[in-house]
Every structure is written in structure tokens, then in C-alpha cells.
Amino acid sequence: MRAEKPAVDFARDVQPILAQHCYACHGPDAATRKADLRLDQRESALDQIAPGHSDASELYRRLVASDPDVRMPPPNEQHQPSLEEIATLKRWIEAGAQWQELWSLQPIARPDVPVVKDRDWPSHAIDFFTLAKMEANAAGPSQPASRYAWLRRVTFDLTGLPPTPAEIETFVSDTSPQAEQKVIDRLLASPAYGENFARHWLDLARYADTHGYNVDSHRDMWRYREWVIESLNENMPFDQFTIEQLAGDLLPNPTVDQLTATGFHRNLPVNDENGAFAEEYRHAYVVDRVNTTGTVWLGMTLGCAQCHDHKYDPISQRDFYQLAAFFDNIDEKGLDGQYGNAGPVIKSPTRKQQRQFTKLEAMLGELRQSYADYLTADDPLMARWETKAKEEGRAEVVSEEKLIAKLDFDTTSPLPDGIAPIGFDSFATGKHGQALLAGGNARINLLRNAKGPISVAAWLYPTVTRPQVLYALNDDNRNNLELVQAEDKFTLILKKVDGTNIAWEAACDQWETNVWQHLAFALEPTSPENARVWVNGKRLKWQSTTPAPLDEENEGENTLGEWTLVVRGLLDDIRIDSRIWSDAETRILAEDDPIAALLSKSSEQRTEEQSLRLKKFYLRETNEDFVRLEAAMEDLRRKIELLQREFPETMVMREREEPRVTHMRVGGQWDQHGDVVQPGLPEQLFEGMPDGSGDRLQLAQWLVAPGNPLTARVVVNRTWQHYFGTGLVKTINDFGTRGELPTHPGLLDYLASELIDSGWDIKHLHRLIVSSSTYRQSSSVGRTRYETDPQNRLLARGPRLRLTGEAIRDQALAAGGLLVRQIGGVSVKPYQPEGLWEELSKGSEFTAQRFVQDQGDRLYRRSLYTYWKRSSPPPNMTAFDAPNREICVAQRSRTNTPMQALVLLNDVTFVEAAKVLACDVGKKHGNQIERAIAEAFLRILSRPIDTDELEMLAALYRQELRRFADDRQAANEWLSEGETVVDSTPELAAMTVLCHTILNLDEAVMTP
């Protein structure tokens, strides 16, 4: 007796056949459409169908026609429908040809919770949906996972870290009904939660620490990563999370954090290759942003419409370029970033720096008020002081407390001890009396501790425009620091012994030859980024973008030492102090005494600025409280300046003042312009057009509008994938006609509705999933049940997934007690094999070409913070399928390869973690080897050790102890791995092998 076939479902059975065999000629793409027939649209398709009558349906007659001129698809087409597929279409027509529009574009409606037979099993709504599916397929749920397994699973899933022994003990001993909710609450409140889910988001955002492409030089984007972590930990609603990343700069009065968030679409690779077409790559950046937006928020393959109308989904090429127009107006260059970040950029202080800045500004504001009170108050004694000062010829002076040398070349006095001039043998008429005639071979060697601050000033009469060295230092570590001037440009270059070059540049308004000009600079060699340069008393501002280092012929000498003023022209009135001058002091040095001139004028003849200057001079001479107030203000200004210099830079989005004209591209070619298009939204996906002016803010608001059918479904599906390895829609990037249908459509829409109704509360979504009975199931089932549903699409068992490369490394560090829990900050460079970067290096003139391993705590930060070079990502993570971050990645592969075993066995991180763990349990338990083994086992695998496991590991320990006792050199070499130094003993070496063995177990790299 033949089993009755299930009813034909259009979305599940019919549409995939039409998409596979018919849409190429009769689908959305107008350029290839034939006979003006669209089988992707109901009205057009049903013109060829007689519902209930296949023989009267042109569609069916064409499928079965024997005449090759009539048959469709034509016989010469490579892909022909099978007999089974033709039979399916016939059954659909005979059943009435019920049509359904694309499921993912239907409005989200909260479904009713299904009725199930076993009403005791579900914990909440999620479980009713999953159980209904199981029961419909004659299946049932698995047993609950053990408390140890559930705790390990949920801790890794929410934080990316294993539970600690204390956390395990607390949970296992808590028999209250709220025990699991307490764990979930604690994990969601942990800072590690934001770090864990930031890693997933950074894959989508294609975050990296280098630009990619040919040179792959360094960029600074870690503040964006920090913003993501902070936003996730603060549970920023996902709609706000979206808007700030896509259009934070377009919000009213955007904050630094909102501007930093726009780095999402600046994370993409940026090219700086000489000879490339700038517009070609700028267009590539725009295309990448469209494709990434489609993946992250719409789950649609928008890239298929770059060259022509989409072959399968309702997205035209015009739609693609209307979306591209939203990103076409970003103020960026096609080729940029060779020596740092690619503009536009901002200074993005961290939260801590923002608090410090606000506090200092408030303190300075209070002092400014007191300062203003002094200057505006009437002082009857000032007139008498003016008369006396005029008679005595008072002058402004700069303190000589830290004076190293003053040279005016007008006397033959002995030279100060702190300097050793070279080439001081020619003189001429100077600014004030006599001046040194410098021909580029004269200089002043400084005989001092070069680690301290220094300020240098001189009157300079330049005679050439070629570069000249104002200051140079070659320290004992062979690092070189130079301040070089070429015309109106001043460049400070730090060349480190590791080959890294860092440069800062400033420019003055005007620099003329054959004219006396006052030049001053101040710096601390240990923090050159805080240097100051003044020209004619006016401080210059260092540019945020940095220039290339000078050619070798313009560099200073390579001999050790510190020297200054290697110039060409006349030098006069040189002054050198071992402190940092203020702006006011430099202005005094740059001027002939102005006080005498002011005193010679009546109060009516003075300008307001002149009167204020004279009032300040008077108060400095007569009021010690005012002097202290000025000193306090200068100290605060100095602290604020130093703090601002430390503000990290990050790449952001910013609109051009003059909008670009966006063209469609014929065939997708960047230089083949088609029709002009305006920013526009594909309303066939969702018609809810928000108010806006056609900018990125309007796009972002459209993406998270409550009626948008895609975004909430896509976010929920990606979240479900995180926990179960596969989304409710398996094709995570494709919610179109070629993507898979959801296995649990009701559950998908229920969770999407819940997300929207909760105010886009992502932590609420996580809480729902991990507190469900579906999630709580054991992953261990019998062979028969496994073979019935090997991919667990029925969700009739718990997830058992291999950990990511980041989680595997972090687990080892956490188990060993090495993990540094610091949140945020710059990227770090832990252990990796030698020479990987160097094989790809394009030369020392570029950054990020030579790998220099970090030391100390920076070796043990969470893997999230590891420096990500696109052309050579961290090898111990790429072995476990981490992407190179060149493109948006919504789903990592999960492979099982011999390379992964080699990483676990040989990577220094895992050996060192085993060593430190062995040392720790050895000190704690001494000769009680079985207790030491049991604790190591618990710290790595999050469960108590079984008796047979303990016996095997104890036997391994005894075996290794004998080996190392006979070969102490082998023990020494084994325990020398990593930066952590321990006392070498056979016992520690044997315990390290045992801990390393546990780290290599299958159970150690899996969620249970």
C-alpha cells in the first residue's frame, strides 16, 4: 500500500523549482526576461496556469512538451527539471495552485503558541514551538543536561569563558528553583558578556587593525571595538545600536561615542597602492557597504544586483545603486591610509578619558572665574605702580630656574657646562648685536640626561628652504628622534629600533627666508607626541594625519647623543631650559619688551588687549595669590593638553559638504556610468518609508522600523545560530527565494515579535533562549536518534558545538589563572610563530610589517583584543576557522582538521597555560597528586573527574614523572616554554604534561 504524499506547499516545494529552472528567463531580471513573462509574480504566473487543471495550463504543457521548440526550459539548457519536480508542479496545479509571496517579506505577526501533547516539558513559549515540531515528526525531547554541562554550556555561550570552580560550587549547591536564573542574571551582567558578543559583531563589521590590500599597514580602530563592547554590556537597544553605527554623525549634536560608532562602515579594507585608480577603490568601498548592510540587517544577497537585476529576488540594479547613493557621499578618498588612518578621523577619548577631561575642564572653569574677577576688579594702587614702573623700566622675564644655557654671541664669557657647541667660529650682525653664522655644520651638543624635558628658543634668519634638523636624539637603545623643519612644515619623527616609524607634522602660517623669525620648541624625549613648536610666539598644531619619514639624506647622524639647531643662516639669542615652557613664556621670548611701550601710553591710548596685558603684569608683580592662580591654571591647561594628546584616533563616517552625483554602473563596472540615481529604499521589501532627507539616517531608521519584516527576523536567526550552530533559517545570509525556509517559522516570528515588543532588548532575547527547556536538553543521544536527525533541525537535543579559536585560547588562559580581565584598550600581540608578517612585508617604511611580540600582561589578554592583520591573521585562531576580516562574515565554518590538533599541542599559549596551572595545583595540593589532578580537570572541563579518568591520568603522571626524573634537561626545556618562569622539577614537568593533555581532550574544545 503506497503512503499518501503530503500536500504540496508552494514555498517549500514549488517556488524552489521555479527559482532553479525558470527565473533565469522569467524572473526579476528585466535584462534577461523573455516573453514578458514573470513566474516570480502571482498575476503573471497564473496567466499561464488553470488552477485545478494541469492539462489546460500552459506552464505544465510546456514542461512536458515533446517538441523542442515548445518545451521549456529549452532542451539545450544544462539544468532540466526532474520527473519528480514536474510531478510536484502538476500536483500543485491540480490542488488549486495556491500562491504564496516570499515568506520573509510578509509582515511579522505574533503567532499563537501551538498546542502540544506533553504540556509538562515546556518552560515557556519557545518550547511549545519546538515540541510541536518534534511531535509532528514522531520525536520527543532529550533528557535535561547535567547541571555541570548546562553551566559550562551557558557560561561559554554568554561570556565565551568557562565557569570558575567557585561558580560551579555555588550553582551545584544551590537547589532553589531560581538557581538557573541567578546564573543567567550574573552572566548577562558580566563585562565578559559584551566581549563575547562583540567578537561576533566584529566578524560582521570586518574589524581589523590593518588596512588590507597590498601593503596592509596599520590603522587605529580599537575605539570602535571598545564602543561595541560598552554598548552591548549596557544593553543598548538594537535599533539605537543600528542607527548610531550607520548614521551616528547625522544625529543632532552627536556625541564622541556616536561618532565613534560610525566606524562600522569604515572598518572595511582601504587601499593605498601606487598606480591604482582612486575612484575604482572608492566605488569598491561603497559597494562593500551596500553588501554588508544587506547581510547584517536584511539577510538578502544585495550583491547579486550590482551588475544586473537580481535573478531570484525582487531587487533591481536600480535598487542597488539607490542604496549605494546613501554611502556615496562619505568624505573619503579612494587611496589613503599609507601612513596611518584614512580620513575622515576624529579624536575619540575613552570613557575614562572623557571623565578626566570633564573634571579638569570643570576645575579650570572655576579658576577662570577667579582669574576674570582679578582682571575686572578696580585696583586704586595700579596707577601709582604704573608711575613707578615707568621710572624703573620694568620688563617681563622668563624664569631661569631650569636654565641650561643662554647664548647671545655678544660677549666672550665662558660657555655653560651643559652644552658643547661645534662650529661656532663665524659671526655676523644679528637680531640684537652679533649672531652666529651657521652653514649647516654648526650645532649644540647637549651634555645632559636625555630623558628629561627640554625647551629651545632662538632668533633665526634662514637663508635656505631645504630641510634642517632642529633637534636630534639617538638614545642608548638606538631609537632615533628628530625634529626637522622644511619651509613651513615641522616634522617630528620617532624611529624605533624595531623598525617602526611614527611621525607628527605641524605647519606655520608663513615661513620666509632672509627674514628674522623667532623659533621655539619644547619636548620630552620619553613622550614625543606631547611636543610643542612655536613660530613668532604662536603655537603650531600637530596634524592628526602623519607624513612619510624623510629621505635618508635629510636624516640626522646615527651616533649616540643629543644635539640641536643644525641650521643654515644666522642664529641669535639662543636659550635652552630643562623644562617645558608655557605659551606665555614663549611669547615673551619672541617679542621685544612690550611692557615699556605700554607704560609709555596713557590708559586711554591702550587697546583692551593692551590694558589686560599690563594688568596681568601688575598683578604678577604685586599679588602672590594671582601668581599662584596663574600657575595652577597653567598646570591644569598642561594636564588637559597632555590628556588630549593621549586621545586615540579613530576612523569615522562624515558627509561631504557638496554631495556626489551617484550613477548606476553598467555591468557593475566602476567606470561605466549609467543613469543618475538618488538615495532610495527598496520599498518592495518594506513600504514603511520614514521621514528623512535621503541620507544614511533615513536608511538606518527604515532598517529598524517596527514594520520592517526582515531585520528582526535576521537578528533573531543569527542569535539562534549562536546557540544551536544553525539558524532557524539555515541560509543565514539569504532570506530570499534561493535560501532555505525556516524550520520553525512560528518560533522565528514569535522571537522577532518579542524582540520588537521588548524595545529591541537583545539581553531579553538571550535570556529567553538560554532559560528554555529546548536549550537545557542533553546533547548526548543514541545512534538511532542521531541518525534520524543528524543536523538537529528538529531541536530534539541540546547543542554540542566546537568552541571558537578565541574561546579555546581564553579557556586555557583562564584555567591557568593567566587571563587578564582588563576591558577595552589597544590591540595586543601575543605569541605567534616567527616570520609570518615578515614574509609578506613591503618594507620598513610601512607600518605593521614586522611582528614584535608583546610582554607581560599583554600576552594574556582575551583573544578579542589580539592584533588582527588581514593578510596574516592570528594563526592559532585561523586554524579554528576565524576569518581574515576582509569581508562581512555572518557564519564561521566549524571544521575538524589535523592543524587544530597541532595548534593545541604546540602553541606556546597552551603549553604555558598548562605549566602555570600545574604549578598552581601543585603548590595548593603538594604531594596529594590525585587532588591536584582533580582540580586541574575541574578548572578545564568544568565537571568533577570520574574514577576511571582519575586512574588513567594518575598513571600518565607517574609515567611522565619517571621520564623527567631520568632526563632533567627535557624537563628544563619543557618548562621553559612561555614568558612565565618557574622552578624546574620533574614533578612540575609531569603535572604540566597532564594539564596539557586535558587541554587537548575533545571535551575541552566543545560545549557539552
What is the rounded CA–CA span in Å between residue 357 and residue 359?
Answer: 5
pLDDT tens-digit series, residues 802-843: 999 999 999 999 999 999 999 999 999 999 999 999 999 988
Residues 491 and 586 in one domain: yes
357-366, 414-423, 794-803, 812-821: which has the minimum mean pLDDT? 414-423
**Residues 286, 355: one domain?**
no
Closest by CA position to 152, among listed 941, 961, 987, 995: 941
What does the alpha-carbon distance between residue 507 and residue 995 come to, in Å, rounded to a whole number?
59
Pick the closest to residue 861 from 229, 306, 428 (CA basis): 229
Is residue 344 located within the same domain as residue 361? no
| Better-predicted residue by pLDDT, 432 or 304 | 304
Reported as a single tens digit per residue, the pLDDT across 448-493 is 877 789 999 999 998 887 888 999 998 877 788 899 988 888 888 8
Residue 603: per-residue pLDDT: 83
560 with 680, same domain: the answer is: no
Q: Is residue 727 a contact partner of residue 714, using CB atoms and an 8 Å limit?
A: no
- Asked whether residue 958 falls in the same domain as residue 937, the answer is yes
| Same-domain status, 447 and 298 | no
Answer whether residue 593 shows pLDDT above 70: no
Which of 668, 697, 727 is the C-terminal boundary of a domain? 727
Question: 446 near 472, Cβ under 8 Å?
Answer: no
The pLDDT of residue 897: 94
In a domain, 789, yes or no: no
What does the pLDDT read at residue 50? Answer: 87
Q: Of 979, 646, 978, 654, give the one whose Cα is nearest residue 825.
A: 646
Which pLDDT belongs to residue 861?
Answer: 98
Return the pLDDT at 364.
96
CB neighbours of residue 357 within 10 Å: 16
Burial 827-842 (b: 16+ CB within 10 A, else e): bbbbbbeeeebeeebe
Residue 2 confidence (pLDDT) above 60: no
The answer on 582 and 618 residing in a single domain is no
> How far apart (Å, rounded) are the C-alpha atoms in residues 407 and 641?
30
Asked if 877 and 808 touch (Cβ cutoff 8 Å), the reply is no
d(CA 567, CA 460): 9
Mean per-residue pLDDT, 492-516? 81
Question: Over 90: is that where the pLDDT of 227 sits?
Answer: yes
Cβ-contact 91, 8 below 8 angstroms? yes
Beta strands in 228-352 (DSSP E): 345-347
Q: What is the pTM of this model?
A: 0.87
| pLDDT on residue 777 | 98
Instruction: Please give the pLDDT value at position 423.
Output: 84
pLDDT surpassing 60 at residue 126? yes
pLDDT at residue 549, rounded to an integer: 45
Instruction: Please state, in angstroms and rounded to a whole number, the distance separating the CA atoms of residues 634 and 619.
Output: 16
Residue 869 to residue 999: CA distance in whole angstroms: 27
Task: Assess if residue 678 is contained within a domain.
Answer: yes
Count of CB atoms situated within 10 Å of the CB of 296: 23
How many whole angstroms separate alpha carbon 610 and alpha carbon 958? 88
In this structure, which amino acid lies at residue 103? Answer: W
- One-letter amino acid for residue 646 of the chain: E
Cα 890–Cα 891–Cα 896 angle in degrees, nearest 5: 160
Give the contacts of 397 (CB within 8 A, at least 6 positions apart): 588
In a domain, 796, yes or no: no
Phi, psi torsion values for 168, nearest 5 degrees: -65, -50
* Residue 161 CA neighbour count, 13 Å, CB half: 29
Using an 8 Å Cβ cutoff, are 568 and 443 in contact?
Answer: no
Q: Which residues is 521 bridged to in the sheet?
A: 456, 533
Domain with 918 in it: 906-1007
Q: What is the mean pLDDT of residues 386-412?
A: 82
Q: How many domains does the chain have?
A: 5
Q: What is the mean pLDDT of residues 583-593?
A: 82
End-to-end CA distance of the chain: 44
Question: Across the chain, what does the average pLDDT equal?
Answer: 91
Residue 451 forms part of a structural domain: yes
Q: Given 95, 127, 160, which residue is the final one in a domain?
A: 95
Do 361 and 505 share a domain, yes or no? no
* pLDDT at residue 181 in the model: 97
Asked whether the predicted pLDDT for residue 203 surpasses 50, the reply is yes
Assign 3-class secondary structure to 952-968.
HHHHHHHHHHHHHHHCH
Residue 382 has pLDDT above 60, yes or no: yes
Is there a domain that residue 547 lies in?
yes
Q: What are phi and psi of 538, to 5 degrees?
A: -105, 125
**Is the confidence at residue 396, as pLDDT, over 80?**
no
What is the pLDDT, as a whole number, of residue 3? 47
pLDDT tens-digit profile of 12-60?
A: 888 888 888 888 889 888 888 888 888 888 888 888 888 888 888 888 8
Strand partners of residue 406: 575
Apex 822 CA angle, 820 and 825, nearest 5: 120
CA-to-CA distance for 164 and 814, rounded, in angstroms? 8
Spatial contact of 774 and 797, defined as CB atoms under 8 Å apart: no
Instruction: Kindly report, residue by residue over 525-566, the tens digit of the pLDDT.
Output: 888 888 899 998 889 887 744 545 444 444 445 567 888 889
φ, ψ of residue 639 in degrees (nearest 5): -65, -40
979 phi and psi, to 5 degrees? Answer: -80, -20
Q: Using DSSP, state whether 437 is helix, strand or coil.
A: strand
Using the 3D structure, point to which of 563, 592, 621 is the last residue of a domain: 592
Q: Is residue 560 part of a domain?
A: yes
Indicate if 944 and 917 belong to the same structural domain. Answer: yes
Indicate if 413 and 487 belong to the same structural domain. yes
Work out the average pLDDT over 171-193. Answer: 97
Number of H helices, E strands in the chain: 36, 20
Residues 944-960: pLDDT tens digits?
999 999 999 999 999 99
Q: Which pLDDT score, from 0 to 100, does residue 220 have?
A: 96
HSE, CB side, 13 Å, CA atoms: give it for residue 932: 25
Residues 450, 553: one domain? Answer: yes
**Contact predicate 861/820, CB 8 Å:** yes
Percentage of the chain modeled with pLDDT above 70: 97
What is the pLDDT confidence band of residue 652, given thresholds at 50, 70 and 90?
very high
SS (H, E, C) 176-237: CCCHHHHHHHHHHHCHHHHHHHHHHHHHHCCCCCECCCCCCCECCCHHHHHHHHHHHHCCCC
Answer whether residue 1 shows pLDDT above 60. Answer: no
Confidence class for position 590, pLDDT limits 50, 70, 90 = confident
pLDDT digits (tens, 9 = 90+) for 305-327: 999 999 999 999 999 999 999 99
Same domain? 327 vs 364: no
Least confident of 166-175, 574-583, 879-888: 574-583
Half-sphere exposure of 435 (CA within 13 A, CB side): 20
**Phi, psi (rounded to 5 degrees) for 511:** -135, 120
C-alpha to C-alpha distance for 853 and 292, rounded to whole angstroms? 33
Q: What mean pLDDT comes out for the span 508-525?
A: 87
Q: Please indicate, yes or no, if residue 481 is contained in any of the structural domains.
A: yes
Match 608711575 to its residue by C-alpha cell.
387
In a domain, 760, yes or no: no
Q: Quick one: pLDDT at residue 5?
A: 67
pLDDT at 550: 45
Cα 29 to Cα 949: distance, rounded to the nearest angstrom: 62
Residue the block writes with cell 564602543: 227
Angle at 889 between CA 732 and CA 800, to 5 degrees: 60
pLDDT band at 100 (very low <50, low <70, confident <90, very high): confident
**3-state secondary structure (DSSP) of residue 733:** coil
